[in-house]
Structure 1
């Protein structure tokens, strides 16, 4: 049976950061838009006759051009039905261009070499906010990092979108604005409030809850100037500890300073015991890996120095003993359930 002796140390760190890094202005956000259209010019890699909606779309397009064609009579394989998606940036103005992502919804084999026909892009309210058209790039990557040669049924039209309707966000004439923290927490909300009020030496910010901070613009500044200053103010921010686990790939991402509380845990032939100690034990015959880590003579014991007992150190220790990613993930999940890990555990 493998036995781990791990020494406990608690560590809390405050990080100096700008307010803009931990919050956003309520109302200033991106907006998603979507549309349906056709991609033409394919080299017999488009939708087949089983995609009846494609044939009907071709027929409707031809009717708009005064050509009456029954969908049953259309045999072309050079056309594919697609869904077009994009994101409107805040304060986008008429005539601004942006990238659009094009994805096949039929049985097309590839969109390579195709051209997207003019596509109205609508918001959730059903109104048209932009148009999209242009040649597809299959090998390129869209603004979200997706799309590649391994996905020939998804492509990007770079600068293929054109803003037609603006989303009005009037900040200039407002007296009040609201900040929303990216991660809720009463301590951080109060820290933002104190940092802003200290900067202006007056009460211009009030924390309304664990996430919202209401701001009142000073009389000697415009709202735009005020928000620009607020976003650059530095504050002491305590980030929320989080462990992210991807069970499919075995990837574990964790902060280096997430502490472990005392616990005894057995998983298969692995037993973990976490206790409080102040000095690093070095049993006879043990091997020192570094100044903070010693492996016992039988390679079934791990000793760590006070100040190094964290999730990152535990994972590293388990890897030294040859534990599989599946074992490590199971151990972390069990320790979270037992209360040894106080950080949030997110499984993907």
Structure 2
């Protein structure tokens, strides 16, 4: 078997110029295309905020906390925090196991208004077996700063299967209500920071140039992952600027990387990956590349048409890489 790859022409002996077998090595070429800025970057500082609280789920029909669990020091303190009587008499009155003490959590988006509904999660703190169908009594939700940002109440659904080991949890769809407006500080400053999902100096410069052109602002890369946008003197608010930037198209740059999946028979290569001059021979397969080099995709296409299997293709790639003819990195999956 002989395969000859030259500068512009690929020559193969007639015996190899045939349709590849059904299980031939598949080649995918993820050519970089223009992508929307909203798909490759995000504004820094626009993070969700975690809220926590504690509450009581009632109406559990025997699947709630036992009186022994409720009488523990931790649970006694928890009941006191909820403003409930934690004395022995009150605890003994809960032997029906229809009550469970739970932790209540929620996540606030970066910008939220008073009255907005949010989803709520509950998790048993004691030895409750199931929270499904129970009713969470109104519970206050506080932020990391100790301030109250909302309250939660409602019927618990989607609790964990009591037959399975693990935490007993549940969910209350739109069971929380925001009581205090929250705006991220990042939206009140005259400078925005954009964070790239995949750090790259060239891409950061492209983003800065594209934003400067579209918004007529001063934008500059701060690092391979951050771009600063200065809105001073433009009359644009951060929200207005973000709205105009979202659909800006940028073609991301990237390092030369070849991803090899031995199991599925897929090689993912970039369209810009070129092989330098080299002469490789492996088990009768000869790859002869001229001084000006050829795209890696052309070599892989030729190997596939020649009927080379996955192991042979990987061996050729590794040989080219070791010889210094294949730039970048090879990643195996």
TM band (smaller chain): 0.5 to 0.7
**Aligned partners of 1:103 and 1:154 also within 8 Å:** yes
Equivalence map 1:197-346=2 (5 Å): 197-200=212-215, 204-217=218-231, 219-223=233-237, 224-238=239-253, 256-257=268-269, 276=287, 278=299, 280=302, 292=305, 294=307, 302=312, 342=329
TM-aligned CA deviation for residue 27 of structure 1: 2.5
Q: 1:136, 1:242 → 2: CA distance?
A: 48
TM-score of the two chains, using structure 1 as the length reference: 0.62
**Aligned partners of 1:280 and 1:303 also within 8 Å:** no
**Aligned partners of 2:80 and 2:86 also within 8 Å:** no
Deviations along 1:302-339, one digit per CA (max 9) or x if unpaired, are 569x9xx79xxxxxxxxxxxxxxxxxxxxxxxx9xxx9
Compared CA separation, residues 14 and 136, structure 1 to 2 (3 A):
same
2:173 maps to 1:158: yes
TM-score of the two chains, using structure 2 as the length reference: 0.65
Looking at CA atoms only, which structure, 1 or 2, has the larger radius of gyration? 2
Equivalence map 1:46-65=2 (5 Å): 46-51=64-69, 52=72, 56=76, 60=80, 64=83
TM-aligned CA deviation for residue 115 of structure 1: 0.9
- Structure 1: 5+ residue stretches without partners: 1-5, 140-146, 246-250, 262-271, 282-290, 311-334
**Aligned partners of 1:54 and 1:81 also within 8 Å:** no
Aligned to 1:185: 200
**Aligned partners of 2:258 and 2:328 also within 8 Å:** no
TM-aligned CA deviation for residue 88 of structure 1: 0.2
**Aligned partners of 1:178 and 1:213 also within 8 Å:** yes
Q: 2:214, 2:203 → 1: CA distance?
A: 16
**Aligned partners of 2:120 and 2:175 also within 8 Å:** yes
TM-aligned CA deviation for residue 89 of structure 1: 1.1
Number of aligned positions between the proteins: 277
Q: 1:228, 1:197 → 2: CA distance?
A: 15
**Aligned partners of 1:37 and 1:118 also within 8 Å:** yes
TM-aligned CA deviation for residue 105 of structure 1: 2.8
